[in-house]
Structure 1
Amino acid sequence: MQFSYTLLTTILFTLCISLHTRAENIVYSFTIQSEISPSVTRLTENAIKDAERRNAKYILVQLDTYGGLVDDADKIRTMLLRSKIPTLVFIKNNAASAGALISIACDSIYMASGATIGAASVVNQSGELMPEKYQSYMRKKMRATAEETGRNPLIAEGMTDESLEIEGIKEKGKIVTLTTDEALKYGFCNAKAENVNEILSRLPDNPTLVNHQSNLTESVIMWLINPAVSGVLLLLIFGGLYFEFKAPGTLFPAAVSLLAAALYFAPLYLEGLAANWEIIAFAIGIVLILAEIFVIPGFGLAGISGIVLTISGLALAMLRNVNFDFSFVSTDEIGRSFFMVVIAMITPLILLVAFGQQLFNSPFFEKLAPKDNLSSHKGFSVQENTLKNLVGASGKTITDLRPAGKATINNERLEVISEGDFISSGTEVKVLRIQGNYLVVTKI
């Protein structure tokens, strides 16, 4: 009986140890199949942290990319080189440019049939070669990485340097790009594999694959930087501003515009696109436009400067410039960015002209409009039910209208707004209609 109890305890203990070992014998996998950017850097950082937390035996990068930002590729390279967990990369199709640097940083490289690795010259987004200072940096990074992972540094450097001649591998004036078979021959591929299961079968102890799951923050950021979503946010920014200018004090359109601006800039900032100075330019532009409308008579330098800064801040935030260096940005990209912002700026104005009156007189807008603008102000009171009698009446402004201000109508001092135009003090005006709790006036 004692022997049976001891045997059972031993079996259960061995089984528990076996299950515990198997639970930790995992390959933690994440996928890079887009342009190398700050989001991919965050993905890599989070995946490595999760792999360490799970005590994974290996980290597997499933890669298919034509490249991307050099600085982010270097950050990813550094994280992989410093990883305490052995790193594997599975090149499904392409490991070009920044993708080649990331691949060489891994301990083991697996490639599918028909895959390629190399062509790591630094180019802008039009495919044009960047100046020598960028090429020199990339050459040395490729060489240093190959040296660190025990691969031929001359071949790695040849993936960037077209002036380099490597006997039997490349002629002068060409860039090294290796097929799967060539990579196997020259030590840049450990084995050919058509899928992840083939890679797992080559690893000891029959490991279990665990795929990285993106967190909510990563998913929201990727959704917000979608061009279609960015376009909608731009429409809300300008639409909210226009509606607030047409009906000052409503506040709801201004709140929508502010929220849209935050949702527009925040993900672009996290993605490394929107720089501090671009966000500041946008903010200064809005301030100048507000000053031109509500403080400075007429429309001049402040207003024009405000429009230019606002458009520039929004457009430049979408581009991959480095501060004031636009070497990596093509003229086509700059043109598309500014075109998108200008269209977003014009569209709400067209909609206001076409449907503004119906909207301002709608029950929804009536609820949003402030209720106390005409009810009482410094001893002058007006009953709302008498406002309709003032439509068509004439009077004179006693303050500048930018577009809101005060006027004397039928010997009553009232708060009024223009249709968006600046009207100076002392100008004869006529009441056109009631808009919420405002009287809309125009010059006579």
Structure 2
Amino acid sequence: MVINISRKLLSSLALFAAIIIFMQDVSAKQVKYIEIDGVIHPASSRFIQRAIDEANDSEAEALLIQLDTPGGLMESMRDIIKSILASDVPVIVYVSPSGSRAGSAGVFITLSAHVAAMAPGTNIGAAHPVSLGMGQEDDTTGVMEEKVLNDAVAFIRSIAEKQGRNADWAESAVRESASITETEALELGVIDVIAPSVDSLLVMLDGREVALPLGNRKLELTGVVLEEISRTWRDQFLEVISDPNIAYVLMMLGMYGLFFELYNPGTVVPGVIGGICLILAFFAFQTLPINVAGLLLIVLAIILFLLEIKVVSYGVLAIGGTISLILGSVMLIESPIPGVEISWGVILPGVIGTVLFFLVAISLSIKAQKRRPTTGLEGMIEETGEVIEKLDPVGKVKVRGEIWNAKSTVGKLPKGSQIRVQKAERNLLIVEEFKE
């Protein structure tokens, strides 16, 4: 009896201990974690904002953003910064791993973080704004650039001052494209800490106090669980089509599809695929610095190719279309930011493929124009037949098993004579005597 009681007691204690361990594991503090590697655009902006929302909803101890970016679009950057500054959960921006950088838009994002950190061997700076997709220069361009510059300076100074960072250096990063190493950034008060790894960063930040919208908060990072927020299929899809090379390929495929549909009405499938590709391409173009002149040159190239098919110009229109397509492809996306351009490895195959595609279409069109008609009145020309009612010079003939009114060019032809059609006028065939 005593043994049974002891066994039950031990079992209960073991179960209680397991529950305690489980509850401790469930209640363990979390630090949400994401990686941003590449250009800042609407797709990456949505992902970061979703991560901030998820960190707030789960009441995480902090959100850690590992950043490596050459820069990106101003509007996307501003949306990210708005979310960071409004977050009730501390946002840590960590420029890492070694060799990474926070350039252009990345400077603004790093300075806006509640904690800014960098790994050894990284750099930050060169935040001068650039005019994207203008495609022209006139007297107003300089004024607009100055307005954009002054706006960027005011913005970066405001976020630097709010987070207690070096606003003077921040201004120089915008006005003079100043760039510094992680050591210089720490010395100048641009960042808060240098850490060789995420684990060491969390240890160094444990107990640090940060200012949030609801007041100051001390980071409690001892024993936290690092949980990565993964990209959803939607995030991944938007990332893919935001690639300038993918957007360009989608546009070309869309044009091919629509051309096929126009050339062979009723095919349906090419038209549907082409329409979908064009819609996706135009969606991607909204996230990219598109040069309108480049886009118009590509449209002009397609028009010239189509005209070459309808109006044979002995290659003049085709040559013009090729030149227009090359220039348009090069000019389509105008950006000094690395990664926001169309690769020559995509442009050349695209241009060559398009030229070959239309050359084949043009050659088929020319052959079709030279081919003798086989239907209707025109299809009767050069056909042979037999007189079934004397031609004097008008009578009736039988051609292709059909009876036609006919007129002889050689005078009278008796019934049974063999004839050949010279031409057709309305419902009258003009014929001549045919001798084999």
**TM-score > 0.5 by shorter chain:** yes
Say which of 92, 114, 118 aligns to 2:121. 114
State the shift of 1:241 in Å: 3.3
Q: CA, structure 1 residues 266+340, in 2 after alignment: closer, same or farther (shift >3 Å)?
A: farther
1:46 aligns with 2:50: yes
1:105 aligns with 2:112: yes
* Cα distance in 2 for residues equivalent to 1:113 and 1:212: 25
Query: Contact 1:235 / 1:348 at 8 angstroms: preserved in 2?
Result: no
* Cα distance in 1 for residues equivalent to 2:107 and 2:254: 40
Q: CA, structure 1 residues 120+411, in 2 after alignment: closer, same or farther (shift >3 Å)?
A: farther
Q: CA, structure 1 residues 351+199, in 2 after alignment: closer, same or farther (shift >3 Å)?
A: farther
Say which of 96, 101, 110 aligns to 2:103. 96
Please list, as runs of the form range in 1=range in 2, the aligned pairs for 1:328-407 lying within 5 A after superposition: 345-352=354-361, 393=374, 395-396=376-377
Structure 2 spans left out of the alignment, 5+ residues: 134-140, 207-219, 380-398, 403-422, 425-436
Query: Contact 1:180 / 1:192 at 8 angstroms: preserved in 2?
Result: yes
Q: Match of 1:74? A: 78
Q: Match of 2:274? A: 257
| Other structure's SS at 1:181 match | helix
**1:152 maps to amino acid:** N
| Other structure's SS at 2:174 match | coil
**2:86 maps to amino acid:** R
Greater gyration radius: 2
State the shift of 1:191 in Å: 2.0
Q: CA, structure 1 residues 316+57, in 2 after alignment: closer, same or farther (shift >3 Å)?
A: farther
Q: Match of 1:142? A: 156
* Cα distance in 2 for residues equivalent to 1:257 and 1:410: 43
Say which of 188, 198, 201 aligns to 1:199. 201
Q: Match of 1:32? A: 36
Query: Contact 2:255 / 2:278 at 8 angstroms: preserved in 1?
Result: no
Q: CA, structure 1 residues 263+182, in 2 after alignment: closer, same or farther (shift >3 Å)?
A: closer
Q: Give TM-score, length-normalised by structure 1.
A: 0.60
Query: Contact 1:28 / 1:51 at 8 angstroms: preserved in 2?
Result: yes
Root-mean-square deviation (CA), in Å?
Answer: 5.0
Q: Deviations over 1:358-382 (max 9, x none)?
A: xx9xxxxxxxxxxxxxxxxxxxxxx
Query: Contact 1:224 / 1:230 at 8 angstroms: preserved in 2?
Result: yes
* Cα distance in 2 for residues equivalent to 1:51 and 1:17: 21
| Other structure's SS at 1:159 match | helix
State the shift of 1:41 in Å: 0.9
* Cα distance in 1 for residues equivalent to 2:249 and 2:178: 43
Please list, as runs of the form range in 1=range in 2, the aligned pairs for 1:183-262 lying within 5 A after superposition: 183-202=185-204, 203=206, 204=220, 205-226=222-243, 229-230=246-247, 232-262=249-279
Query: Contact 1:65 / 1:99 at 8 angstroms: preserved in 2?
Result: yes
State the shift of 1:317 in Å: 11
Q: Give TM-score, length-normalised by structure 2.
A: 0.61
Please list, as runs of the form range in 1=range in 2, the aligned pairs for 1:51-62 lying within 5 A after superposition: 51-62=55-66
State the shift of 1:188 in Å: 2.1
* Cα distance in 2 for residues equivalent to 1:392 and 1:13: 89
Q: CA, structure 1 residues 218+76, in 2 after alignment: closer, same or farther (shift >3 Å)?
A: same
Alignment coverage as a number of residue pairs: 334
Q: CA, structure 1 residues 181+246, in 2 after alignment: closer, same or farther (shift >3 Å)?
A: closer
**2:162 maps to amino acid:** E
Q: CA, structure 1 residues 160+265, in 2 after alignment: closer, same or farther (shift >3 Å)?
A: closer
Percent same amino acid among aligned pairs?
Answer: 23
* Cα distance in 2 for residues equivalent to 1:228 and 1:272: 11
Query: Contact 1:231 / 1:340 at 8 angstroms: preserved in 2?
Result: no
* Cα distance in 1 for residues equivalent to 2:350 and 2:131: 23
Q: CA, structure 1 residues 100+20, in 2 after alignment: closer, same or farther (shift >3 Å)?
A: same
Structure 1 spans left out of the alignment, 5+ residues: 163-174, 322-327, 361-389, 399-408, 413-427, 430-444
1:123 aligns with 2:127: no
**2:357 maps to amino acid:** P
Query: Contact 1:274 / 1:316 at 8 angstroms: preserved in 2?
Result: no
Q: Deviations over 1:66-85 (max 9, x none)?
A: 21222222221121111111
Query: Contact 1:239 / 1:349 at 8 angstroms: preserved in 2?
Result: no
State the shift of 1:229 in Å: 4.2
State the shift of 1:100 in Å: 0.9
